[in-house]
Chains A and B, each alone.
Chain A
């Protein structure tokens, strides 16, 4: 199976690899997937308390090239968005942007789940009610 150029580019030059200080109240962390399933994504956001804008996003991913590319792309999209906008990121836009084949759609689902988990972690830390999401269909 050949990878799309965008997947290869993210794999070779991943954006925003790293770790944010998860003890800070304005940092939200989402850890999704499982080692036994062959992919684990950790996605973190750092929110500007005053504006509600995500000013930094970092990821680390254990997984195939498409999983790495999906999380790298997600961090790029998160930066500069408000938390409310970030919630709306849909896995299918990741699929389209990276040109993922059907067998790799679960990588994009995982990235969407990681975003939601990070946002909920941030909300929980700041005394806000956690958002309810529909169960992912693909899982």
Chain B
């Protein structure tokens, strides 16, 4: 029996794995100590739990536990990495290179840095959502201190060529930061093999709790330092003050351990369901896949259904199926997705897009139901769409003088 609503928005957030919740519970009540209380068993117990979680987190990304700085989530990690490097390495230079489909937590932080006297280059991605490596290398100058490129994109799921990017960064002696929120726990990420110097990620995207994340900061070859953005008791090697969120960190550690153990199997299962959904929806006339088809996370797909508007489309089934859209109507700004526009999509196709994010608990039955519902709704709305009628009559919509408003 299908249970409604079906959740297909796992790039927004994921449910906590019950095993994660179970691991966390004792740390709310019995083992409630402050991990910074050095002089009694309550503190020792908390510190031990945090140390264990730090190992679990580090193991998932091939890091040393000492290189893990716990944060409140990836937004904080992005801020700490970019602002922290900008301030720490001010004597070396003020130039940062990033790209135009980064998450707002990176883009807005870069905007802030510009106001503080930094210079930022925003690389344009190609129409498959990947950056041009030659353009990246050409953008490096003597004042460049940081390259900030996301591991995988949150809207279209494309995976950036991190190894090639880090080779360029190394060659020019520039630090590499990656927002890997969408990638960690879903695909193998290894900071040493990938050559990453700083990396932000978050627990709630990998079946852990909300409000906790980590910033990886390399300690060797090279030793990286960031200027703290939150001052206080000097926790986390002085880089991030504030009493540690012990239950959250314990849950984060457990979530990482589960991802490490089950990733291989889960990827096979989930990517098969994703492919089934993607193939079926791309069979609909005038539907288009957004983002590179092969360099892609296993659990996400983003498709535009031309001549129907995304929010109107979601309304056809959103009581039963939760997805998200790049349509402007879903945002307060009335602007369609900047990520889709960066791929060179016209506003009309950006307005017509849906993102489907599958997850650990997605079933085949749910996917079959989704295929049926989306297909039916697209067909129904096209019968109602003046643009579809014009298209069917062979009218080129570009020849019409639209009354822009």
Contacts and interface: CB of A to CB of B under 8 A. Distances in A.
A42 B384 contact: no
Contact of A38 (B336, B397, B400, B403): B336
Given A60-B389, A64-B311, A37 B384 contact: no
A80 interface: no
A78 interface: no
B315 A61 contact: no
Interface residues of B, number: 30
Contacts of A64: 309, 311-312, 315, 327, 329
A40 B405 CA distance: 11
B386 A42 contact: yes
Interface in B100-151: none
A33 B405 contact: yes
B404 A36 contact: yes
B405 A139 contact: yes
A136 to B, nearest CB: 8
Contacts of B334: 38, 103
A14 B336 CA distance: 26
Contact of A62 (B307, B315, B316, B403): B307
Contact of B385 (A38, A61, A138, A139): A61
A63 B348 CA distance: 11
Contact of A35 (B311, B329, B397): B397
Q: Which 8 A-B pairs have the closest CB atoms?
A: A34-B402, A36-B347, A139-B405, A35-B348, A42-B386, A60-B386, A64-B311, A65-B315
Given A14-B384, A64-B315, 18 more contacts: A8-B315, A33-B405, A34-B402, A35-B346, A35-B387, A36-B346, A36-B404, A37-B347, A38-B351, A39-B309, A60-B384, A62-B308, A62-B387, A65-B311, A67-B309, A68-B312, A113-B403, A138-B405
Interface of A: 3, 8, 11, 14, 17, 19, 31-42, 60-65, 67-68, 103, 106, 110, 113, 136, 138-139
